Amino acid sequence: MTNAAFISCSGEDLEQAKVLENLLDHAGLPAWVYTKPLTGSQFPTEITEAITTSSCVIVLVSPSSASSAWVGRELHFAQENGIPIVPVLVKPTPTNSALHLRIAGMSRIDATKGFAGEAFDELCRAVKAHYRRLNPIVAVMNMKGGVGKTTLSANIFGGLFKWRHKNVLLVDLDPQYNLTQLLVHQRTHLALVEQDRSVISAFEPGRPLGRESPTRELTKISTFDGAPIDPTEIAHRLEFDPDSRARFDLILGQFEIAKYTLPQNTRRVDACMAYFKRFLDLARSKYDLVVIDVSPASSHLTLAAVSAATHVLAPVRPDKYSLRGLKAMRRLMDELFALEEQPEFLAVMNDVAPDSPTDVEEDIRNDREFGASLLKTIIPHSRYFFARNTGAVQNPAERLAINARGWHSSNIQDVLRTAGDELMERVSGHAATIDRNVGDTAEVNQEI
């Protein structure tokens, strides 16, 4: 589990820390504070694990924390491990303490009047800035259909689970729910949707929280408040690795989420979008990677996805409209959505056949705006991406290309493994360093 923030405080400030923890949790920023008495000289394992799995450390600055050896140790441990520190002044404190020397030069948030108003908003902005650098949310989308976004969502990110043991959550945000149909038996899908163990519970509280189902009336959005449901409670388990404990889960799609695009619901839809954002922030604390499969249509659902995403991945095919489609997507995000924070834009060439024209890739790579966004790895055309009628299987995920065992299946799996590694480097904030390109155009002449 990953936390948005670890809260470091003295024993005297513990109650304030608990209040702040609840406020941050409600804002979709999972926080952690140690509530047991601290004795001895050794760090409890819970503290070291909580600090290293947090995007930042919030230190409550007060006279008691300034003289606390434990607070000093926690901050020293955080700095040794490269964890950013966010100082929050809760009581006037002498400036000649060791704590002030440790946080010298850092911007401090003045919360001496309480965690409300601008002080809390400023703190949330600071924590979010750090939190966005951890556990990315990737929206896979293209305003043009038929580019293979669903297939890539399942195989590239499924490969990160299979080969890199990442905890991966797929979210099917397309009302046509093709991703769900690819990965889940129809009978299972119908049963889970009936229980609201599906994507609609990411927008409104439903049956899992003891509420009326949001699907009951498609022209009505309920009034609600409070924290969203734990994503693991409604996620459908696709695969699980008992050795690494890694999970590959899916939030099932359904056509009823089209209700959030209806003009009758415009006035209430903003509350649903905010609820969805908090749901995804909570999901980030449970999974290494959250992937949203987005409908090609421009709608409130598209806005919800890109508003929450840290990255957008656009699959493009080798046709003359690909670069135009990328430019249209960028314009949509820049001009129509007016996002507070722009997700990083990435693209990947997909379904490249031996006789595909190479000028499309060259045009994109040479484009000033999109050249750096295009992954080096190219996904070739492969028969293993097509739905195969191989008879009844217990788990439809067995039919994915990453799990194929046929002739030359290892070739496409090598490409998917390389693409996943490159993508993880990009979304983790590191420059891509992959020199060997398994799937470049020089090698797609073999049938894989």
Q: Is residue 188 over pLDDT 90?
A: yes
Q: Is residue 441 over pLDDT 50?
A: no
> pLDDT tens across 121-170, in order?
999 999 988 887 778 999 999 877 778 889 999 999 999 999 999 999 99
> pLDDT tens across 366-398, in order?
888 888 999 999 999 888 887 554 456 788 988
φ, ψ for residue 127, nearest 5 deg? -65, -45
Least confident of 69-78, 279-288, 314-323: 314-323
pLDDT at 388: 55
The residues near 439 (Cβ < 8 Å, ≥ 6 apart) are 352, 377, 378, 379, 380, 415, 418, 419
Residue 310 in tokens: 């840290």
pLDDT at 107: 87
CA diameter of the chain:
74
Q: Is residue 138 within 8 Å of residue 309, measured between CB atoms?
A: yes
φ, ψ for residue 349, nearest 5 deg? -75, 130
The count of other CB atoms within 10 Å of the CB of residue 269 is: 21
Least confident of 8-17, 70-79, 158-167, 256-265: 256-265
Give the whole-number percent of the chain exceeding pLDDT 70: 93
Measured between alpha carbons, how far is residue 36 from residues 2, 47, 67, 133, 311 in Å? 20, 11, 19, 30, 38
Put the strands of the sheet holding 289-294 in their side by side order: 236-241, 246-251, 168-173, 289-294, 137-140, 311-316, 344-349
Q: Is residue 213 within 8 Å of residue 201, measured between CB atoms?
A: no
**Residue 289: how many CA atoms within 13 Å on its side-chain side?**
29
pLDDT band at 9 (very low <50, low <70, confident <90, very high): very high
pLDDT at 40: 64
pLDDT at 436: 30
The residues near 372 (Cβ < 8 Å, ≥ 6 apart) are none
CATH code for 5-131? 3.40.50.10140
What's the average model confidence in pLDDT over 174-187?
94
CATH code for 137-443? 3.40.50.300
pLDDT at 64: 93
Give the whole-number percent of the chain exceeding pLDDT 90: 51
> pLDDT tens across 261-272, in order?
887 777 788 889
CATH topology agreement for domains 5-131 and 137-443: yes
φ, ψ for residue 128, nearest 5 deg? -60, -40
pLDDT band at 44 (very low <50, low <70, confident <90, very high): confident
Least confident of 35-44, 280-289, 319-328, 347-356: 35-44
Q: Is residue 234 over pLDDT 90?
A: yes
How far apart CA 447 and CA 353 sit, in angstroms, is 9
Give the predicted TM-score (pTM) of the model: 0.77
pLDDT at 215: 94
The count of other CB atoms within 10 Å of the CB of residue 425 is: 15
pLDDT at 329: 84
Q: Is residue 405 over pLDDT 80?
A: yes
Q: Is residue 310 within 8 Å of residue 136, measured between CB atoms?
A: yes
How far apart CA 218 and CA 262 sit, in angstroms, is 9
pLDDT at 41: 66
pLDDT at 439: 40
Q: Where are the domains of the chain?
A: 5-131, 137-443
**Per-residue exposure over 340-377, b if at least 16 CB sit within 10 Å of its own CB, e if not:** eeebbbbbbbbbbeeebeeebbeebeeeeebeebbbbb
Q: Is residue 328 over pLDDT 90?
A: no
pLDDT at 340: 72
Name the average pLDDT for the chain: 86
What's the average model confidence in pLDDT over 275-279?
91
Residue 251 in tokens: 């939030």
